[in-house]
Amino acid sequence: MSNLDRQAVPAVCGGRGFVVAEPVRELLSPRRVQLGESTEVRRLLPNLGRRMVGAWAFVDHYGPDDIADEPGMQVPPHPHMGLQTVSWLHEGEVLHRDSTGSLQTVRPRELGLMTSGRAISHSEESPRPHARLLHGAQLWVALPDAHRHVEPHFQHHADLPHVTAPGLTATVILGELDGALSPGTTYSPLVGADLALTRGAETNLPLDPDFEYAVLSMSGEAHVDGVPVLPGSMLYLGCGRTSLPLRADSDAGLMLLGGEPFEEEIVMWWNFVGRSHEEIERARADWQTGTRFGEVHGYDGGRLPAPALPPVALKPRGRVR
Which residue ranges make up the site for Mn ion (CB under 5 A)? 1-2
Q: For the chain, how many residues are written?
A: 321
Choose between 83 and 239: whose C-beta lies nearer to Mn ion.
83
Q: How far is the CB of 32 from Mn ion (least distance, A)?
A: 19
Q: How far is the CB of 79 from Mn ion (least distance, A)?
A: 8
145/128 Cα distance (integer angstroms): 39
Q: Do residues 60 and 138 lie in contact, with contact meaning Cβ atoms separated by under 8 Å?
A: yes
Q: How far is the CB of 17 from Mn ion (least distance, A)?
A: 29
Q: How far is the CB of 140 from Mn ion (least distance, A)?
A: 8
Residue 193: DSSP 8-state: E
Choose between 236 and 269: whose C-beta lies nearer to Mn ion.
269
Choose between 2 and 74: whose C-beta lies nearer to Mn ion.
2
CA-based torsion, 17, 260, 277, 147: positive or negative: positive
Q: How far is the CB of 100 from Mn ion (least distance, A)?
A: 14
Q: How far is the CB of 67 from Mn ion (least distance, A)?
A: 19
Choose between 1 and 160: whose C-beta lies nearer to Mn ion.
1
Choose between 1 and 256: whose C-beta lies nearer to Mn ion.
1
Nearest residue to the partner Mn ion, using Cβ:
2
Tell me the C-alpha to C-alpha distance, in Å, between residue 205 and each of 117, 195, 208, 244, 290: 32, 10, 10, 5, 46
Identify the burial level of 275 via C-beta atoms within 10 angstroms of its C-beta, where 0-12 means exposed, 13-18 middle and 19 or more buried.
middle
Choose between 92 and 220: whose C-beta lies nearer to Mn ion.
92
Q: Do residues 215 and 257 lie in contact, with contact meaning Cβ atoms separated by under 8 Å?
A: yes
Identify the burial level of 144 via C-beta atoms within 10 angstroms of its C-beta, where 0-12 means exposed, 13-18 middle and 19 or more buried.
middle
153/113 Cα distance (integer angstroms): 9
Q: How far is the CB of 203 from Mn ion (least distance, A)?
A: 34
Choose between 2 and 188: whose C-beta lies nearer to Mn ion.
2
- Encode burial over 41-58: b for 16+ CB neighbours within 10 A, e otherwise: bbbbbbbeebbbbbbbbb
